Chains A and B, each alone.
Chain A
Amino acid sequence: DAGVIQSPRHEVTEMGQEVTLRCKPISGHDYLFWYRQTMMRGLELLIYFNNNVPIDDSGMPEDRFSAKMPNASFSTLKIQPSEPRDSAVYFCASSTTGTGWTSGNTIYFGEGSWLTVV
C-alpha cells in the first residue's frame, strides 16, 4: 500500500510568497494531521482533521497559516505570506482511529516537505 504522500519534497521560496503544501493520506484513514518540525521546537501539531472536518487548529501559529481538506484523499497547508521563520519540515500524517487511548494505534507520517524561506 502507498503511504502518506506529500509534495513538494523540497521548496525554497522568497519571503512574502505563498507556499502550498499538499498531502494524500493513506486510503481508508479518516484522521489527517499536519505537523511542523524545527530544531528549536521539535515536532508540533498544527492542525488535525477527522472525516475531512478540522477538529483542532489551536497549533496553527497565526493567520498566515491555513489548512483545508476538501475530500478524504487530499489536504493542503498554505502559508501566505511566508516568512523566514516558517522554514521547517512540514509533515503530514494519517491514521484510522486517531491517537487516543482506545486506539493503541499509531499515525503514519509522510516523508515531509522541507521548506526554506529566504
Chain B
Amino acid sequence: RKEVEQDPGPFNVPEGATVAFNCTYSNSASQSFFWYRQDCRKEPKLLMSVYSSGNEDGRFTAQLNRASQYISLLIRDSKLSDSATYLCVVTPYNNNDMRFGAGTRLTVKP
C-alpha cells in the first residue's frame, strides 16, 4: 500500500462546478498535511496547508480526518485556471520527508 493515495482522475468538470478530491495516508504518526498544485510541465507549488480544524482559502476548503486518515480538498465555483494536478502531501512527525501522492488531474471546461 502506498503511503499517500489519491484518485488519479481525471476529473473533468464544467466551469462553476464544485469538485472534491480525497487523499488517504497510511502513517498514523503523520503531522503535517498540505495540498500542492502542479501545472503541466511546471514545478509543484503550495496551494494550502491543512489544519486539524479544517481551513478555507477563498474557493478552496481543506479538511483533515485523523481518525480515518484522510484529507480532502473542495473547490467551489471552478475556474478554467483551476485546471492542474493536485498533489496531497503528508509529513511524518519531526521528519522532513514530505510524502507526495501521485496527484489528481483536474480539467475545468467552459
Which positions in A face B, CB cutoff 8 Å? 31, 33, 42-45, 48, 50, 55-56, 59, 91, 98-104, 106-107, 109-112
Given A45-B98, A55-B96, is A101 in contact with B32 using a C-beta cutoff of 8 Å?
yes
> Which residues of B lie under 8 Å from residue A42 when comparing CB positions?
100-103
B87: A residues at CB distance < 8 A: 43
Chain B: which residue is nearest A114 at the CB level?
B41
Is there a chain A Cβ closer than 8 Å to B25's Cβ?
no
Chain A residue nearest in CB terms to B87: A43
On chain B, the residues within 8 Å of A102 by CB distance are 94
8 more CB-based (< 8 A) A-B contacts, given A59-B97, A101-B93:
A50-B96, A55-B96, A99-B96, A100-B32, A104-B32, A104-B49, A111-B43, A112-B43
14 A-B contacts (beta carbon < 8 Å): A31-B96, A33-B96, A42-B102, A43-B100, A48-B96, A48-B97, A59-B97, A91-B44, A100-B91, A100-B94, A100-B95, A107-B98, A109-B43, A109-B45
CB-defined contacts of A50 to chain B, threshold 8 Å? 96
User: Are the CB atoms of B31 and A106 closer together than 8 Å?
Assistant: no
Task: Name the CB-closest residue of A to B103.
Answer: A42
How far is it, in angstroms, between the C-alpha of A110 and the C-alpha of B43 when the chains are bound?
A: 7
Q: Which B15-48 residues have C-beta < 8 A from chain A? A: 31-32, 34, 42-46
